[in-house]
Amino acid sequence: MDKALLEQTIDICRRAGDAILEVYNSSAELEVDTKADDSPVTAADLAAHRVLAPALAELLDGVPVLSEEQEMPSFEERRQWQRYWIVDPLDGTKEFIRRNGEFTVNVALIDGGEPVLGVVYVPVLDITYAGCRGGADSEAVAFKRTADGETPIRVRALQPRLDAGEPVELVASRSHGAGAVDRLVERIESAVGEVACKNMGSSLKLCLVAEGAADLYPRLAPTCEWDTAAAQAVVEAAGGTVVDEEFRLLRYNSKDSLLNPFFYVIGDSSFDWRPLLTK
């Protein structure tokens, strides 16, 4: 995958982040509308979409853009797409409304149902997580970029931490699927020991696994494909994996619905997670 394309995508995401911050930092009262699926939408979601959609369409000739903030093409149309951009202009709108900073701009390039390039940009912190798949003559690239510079990221090994008596570190949604996660924690603790949990909003949870700051993210509540694709590309480039409850790799644009199955983001895929995660 072309590193130059990744850098161009990062630049576009940063511009969308600037559009979000104009709304976020405004003194005007934040207006929140409700979409047909009861999810919230703000002027910031729409402002970011207006930056991302045309810029990405120009970036790769003939590659369509699928954004949360647009009318959804039919599956009959989408199934013809070998490659396309999938975009969540503002992932974590509820966190945006709460003004806690835990929201992101998510952009991924899908090829053959697989996320091959992804950028997750955190506007409030000016942090970028980025990753792209390697090719025949190149290795995968995954990094975290802050104001202090760029650092390669990699998922971490779990067994040495267990051998040292350290807990399994699990990251979970602040507002979804708590009961199912609690039961999973009980299973893991009965099998391997202590579990430490951290709650966070948006796709930052996947990024924590990618950078080796967490071992597992179970998502046992609904998400859409634009919520996960960008961060999944980062996780996979960093050596991790994202699987559904049957341990099949999470893939895209394979059905009419854009809802994901429940899934697990796994850092150390060499660890035998299956007995702990399957009922």
Binding residues for substrate: 68, 90-93, 227
Return the residue matching tokens 């507002």: 175
CA angle 202–102–262, rounded 5-degree value: 15
Token code pair at residue 102: 């835990």
Distances (CA, A) of 210 to 115, 129, 177: 15, 9, 22
Which residues 6+ apart lie within 8 Å of 190 measured at CB? Answer: none
What DSSP element (H or E) covers 128? strand 127-132
- Binding-site members are 68, 88, 90-93, 227
Residue type, position 137, single letter? D
- Binding-site members for Mg(2+) are 68, 88, 90-91, 227
Rounded CA separation 243/247 (Å): 5
Assign 3-state DSSP to the chain and report helix, strand, coil percentages, each to 5: 35, 30, 40
